[in-house]
Structure 1
Amino acid sequence: MVGYNEKDVVELGVIGMGDMGRVYAKAFARAGWKRVNVCDIPTKYQALKDELQGTGINVLPDGFAVARRSDYIMYCVEAANVDKVVAAYAPATKIGAVVCGQTSVKDPEIRAFEKHVPQDVHIVTCHSLHGPGVNPAGQPLVVMRHRSNDEAFRLTVRILEALNSKIVYLSYQEHDRITADTQVATHLAFLSMGTAWKAAAVYPWENPSYVGGLENVKTLMMLRIYSNKWHVYAGLALLNPSAKAQVRQYAQSVSELFKMMIQEDDQAFRNRIAAASEFVFGKSATTTTKGQSSMLLSDDVMDKFALSAIPRHDWKPNSHLSLLAVVDCWWKLGINPYAHLICQTPPFRMLLGSTEYLFRTPLLLEDSIVAALREKSIRADDCEFYTATRGWVECIEQGDFEGYRARFEGTKEFFRERLDEGAKASAELIETIAKRTAASNSTANVHSKL
């Protein structure tokens, strides 16, 4: 499309005005496109119209109205509902238009597009690897060209540039494999932490074993996940064909490490941790000095975002079973987490930073190992974590959306009073880490030119 300004002639459409639909619609409107047409379910039409009055966003009654007049249409719906919604509205798509989706798992979305979208319509889909509470600027945005000519593909990229994200180009199969590798075990770890604390009737900020340093990060990211909507995580775990191996191995890693802990099998436990550490972090992992190891986390950053008032001298070491199992899982599956940073999400970035900090801080790692093998006072909590992990994996293995929802909402209710605070603090933590990483990369780039 050369010789005229696309913004003057192209109309954009968003079907599904949930949290992420709003992020995209508002970004498109700010970028100055001629018209941004949006809709949600028909019963929300008037409320949405009143809400967006004066924003320049054109609210329409339903997906038919959006599809008929828009040159680019984004479906922002739950992965579990994408086939039903696409089936309803795709036949009304304009000839030559582009359809896109914003689901976290692409296999069911692409199957829906191939089944229902007319052959004279282009398919270029995407996925923003962050939640609605994160500034999309600089965050990864995966663009997947599935069925389009060059002109439609270039137009799609231009449209998505409105988010100022870091665009990564993959196939939808690569996307699902990498997001399974990076997100599934990440979410499972934080979900299981929350469920374990709920089962034990323990708020981590009130327990000396769960405050300070890494525990601040773990608690904040747990609260962040439970402050979001359950379907965001359920779709990825239950519908991604690459996810099952991840959840099975993470549960197996938790189980096998926990058995060694209760048997106090010192040598086998240490050998297992050392092997996983060497695979993921290299031989230097056990010799790096404290404070110089993590590319993401440091004591000053982690302590800044504490939710607890318990003084530092009262903190107690714990096993960090959840983090040990993550690294063990990566080792057993042969996953190099650093290779997947192109598709990193804020929770994954925090989890990788936390594991790196633990494994590359020798005194902290030794405290964790000793606590795991000798500190009987934390065995009950680790047992709750083991049980919670098994429960989540069973739910995922069965493909049980309602069971997933009930488990998620039950834990969410337990932490309800601190969810808003946790979400706000975790957003600040993510922003702090993003700035530190950007500054570090900038310095590295300068040095590489000298």
Structure 2
Amino acid sequence: MVAVSSANMMSTPATKLGAIVGGQTSCKAPEIEAFDKHLPSDVSIVSCHSLHGPGVDPKGQPLVLIKHRASDAAFTFVEDVLSCLGSKHVYLTREQHDRITADTQAVTHAAFLSMGAAWCANKQFPWESPRYIGGIENVKMNVTLRIYSNKWHVYAGLAIMNPDAQKQIQQYAESVTELFKLMLGGQRDELSARVHAAGEAVFGGSRDREDLLLKDEVLDQFSLGELPEKRLKNNHLSLLAMVDCWWKLGIVPYDHMICSTPLFRMWLGITQYLFRNPSLLAECIDTAIDDNTFRADDLEFTFAARDWSSRVSLGHFEGYREKFERIQSYFEPRFPEATRVGNEMIRTILEKTT
């Protein structure tokens, strides 16, 4: 099999007769379009995408295979070659892949990127504050640092080149903004009604009987700071907005579990944990209305979500890179420890959710 970058097609007329060509990009629309335009008709096109980062063991993780233009024999050959990864093969079309990738990755990344931007704007290292230690907060911190320790283009390409991703990132920014306005206005009844409507749409019905993907006793193992004696209350705007976004877009995240990344499983796990715990959810709403502790953080988070959405909508790669690398440099001293703890957390959580 020959792997050809969709960004460099100058040599494609010289592709070996009867070759099989594929790509590993996270957005298949431009890749397949380039292959169709530049590759000779005798060349088979079988694309793929591993739904995990480079630091995750591929064994058992989903690997999407797209039989775009190929014989059964050529497709079987590609499957045999890729079987050495030990991944779980998932068969999709290009359109299905891009929609599901947007559903499971784009908004997840936007949420964590916005958290990092907010902490950087407030000159915070969250693991040094008792406000962000323990349970759910460990996922927020570890995954945010994990994302910022990677290359900017991994996330920019997925967000900017996938039209479905752009729509979802825009809706997430709108959900964050609208919920934050309800909090600022002290509109308890309106906030409660909206949060519970979103929760019912995403986690209600038969899904209410789903086992919890994550529990505090698992998450508490992976703190970057010292555990406080008493957990501080948080309104979890980022999580409330995620479920609101899924509700507004008609997305049922459980439908995509077969194609879910480790980060998405953790994100879904902590949102499910929050919304399936009535007392904790009520505490979030009360905190959002009555407690100003997180107001500065929430303000910067709202600014960040809107800013990331604007840069993505404009297709501004350099603008995306500038913001990403500026925040990356702020957190860089903690990347080695965060990567170690994050890898251990992911490994432990995957064992309990797969």
Smaller-chain TM-score range? over 0.9
Structure 1 unaligned spans of 5+:
1-71, 439-450
Aligned position for 1:195: 117
Q: Distance in 2 between matches of 1:149 and 1:259?
A: 55
1:140-171 deviation per Cα after TM superposition (whole angstroms, max 9, x unaligned): 00000000111101101111111100100000
Is the contact between residue 198 and residue 411 of structure 1 (CA under 8 Å) also seen in structure 2? Answer: yes
- Per the normalisation by structure 2, the TM-score is 0.97
How far the C-alpha of 1:341 sits from its partner, in A, is 1.0
What SS does the corresponding residue of 2:113 show, helix, strand or coil?
helix
CA contact (8 A) 1:206 1:310 kept: no
Q: What's the counterpart of residue 15 of structure 2? A: 93
Contact 1:295 1:437 in 2 (8 A): no
Whether the 8 Å contact between 2:106 and 2:158 is mirrored in structure 1 is: yes
1:179 shift after superposition: 0.7
Distance in 1, matches of 2:206 and 2:27, equals: 36
Contact 1:321 1:382 in 2 (8 A): yes
Q: In 2, are the aligned partners of 1:106 and 1:175 still within 8 Å (CA)?
A: yes
- Aligned-partner residue type, residue 235 of structure 2: S
Match of 1:377 among 293, 310, 314: 293
Which string of whole-angstrom CA distances, capped at 9 and with x for unpartnered residues, describes residues 180-218 of structure 1? 111111000000000000000011111222111100011
Contact 2:236–2:284 (CA under 8 A) maintained in structure 1: yes
Aligned to 1:396: 312
Give CA deviations for 1:391-433 in whole Å, capped at 9, x if unaligned. Answer: 1111101100000001110111111011121122111111112
Shift of 1:316: 1.1
- My pick for the range that moved more, 320-329 or 342-351, is 342-351
Q: Aligned letter for 1:358?
A: L
- 1:296 maps to a residue whose letter is L
- Cα RMSD (Å): 1.5
Match of 2:90 in 1: 168
Other structure's SS at 1:156 match = helix
Q: CA deviation at 1:275?
A: 0.2
Amino acid at match of 2:49: H
How far apart, CA to CA, are the structure 2 residues paired with 1:341 and 1:191? 22
Tell whether 2:227 aligns with 1:303.
no
Tell me which of 137, 141, 156 is aligned to 2:59.
137
Q: Does 1:362 align with 2:291?
A: no
1:340 aligns with 2:262: no
Are 1:73 and 2:2 an aligned pair?
A: yes
Equivalent residue number for residue 46 of structure 2:
124
1:99/1:227 CA distance change after superposition, 3 Å: same
Q: Deviations over 1:109-138 (max 9, x none)?
A: 001111111111100000000011000000
User: 1:32-47, aligned counterparts within 5 Å?
Assistant: none
Counterpart secondary structure, 2:163 = coil
Q: C-alpha displacement at 1:285, in angstroms?
A: 8.2
Distance 1:272 1:377 in 2: 22
In structure 2, what is the Cα distance between the partners aligned to 1:283 and 1:374? 31
1:9-408 matches, within 5 Å, as: 72-75=1-4, 82-83=6-7, 85=8, 87-282=9-204, 295-313=212-230, 315-408=231-324
Matches of 1:432 and 1:296 in 2, distance apart? 12
Q: Who is 2:350 aligned against?
A: 434
Provide the C-alpha distance between the structure 2 equivalents of 1:285 and 1:367, rounded to a whole number of angstroms: 22
Check conservation: 1:96, 1:122, Cα contact below 8 A.
yes
Partner Cα distance (1:388, 1:199) in 2? 9
Give SS of 2:21's match: strand
Q: For 1:14-65, what per-residue CA distance to the aligned partner results, in whole angstroms no more than 9, with x for missing partners? A: xxxxxxxxxxxxxxxxxxxxxxxxxxxxxxxxxxxxxxxxxxxxxxxxxxxx
Larger Rg: 1
Supply the distance in 1 between the matched residues of 2:301 and 2:94 (Cα, whole angstroms).
33
Q: Which runs of 5+ in 2 are unaligned?
A: none
Give the superposition deviation at 1:262. Answer: 0.4
Alpha carbons 2:133, 2:228 under 8 Å: kept: no
Q: Distance in 1 between matches of 2:73 and 2:205?
A: 48
Distance 1:124 1:273, change over 3 A: same
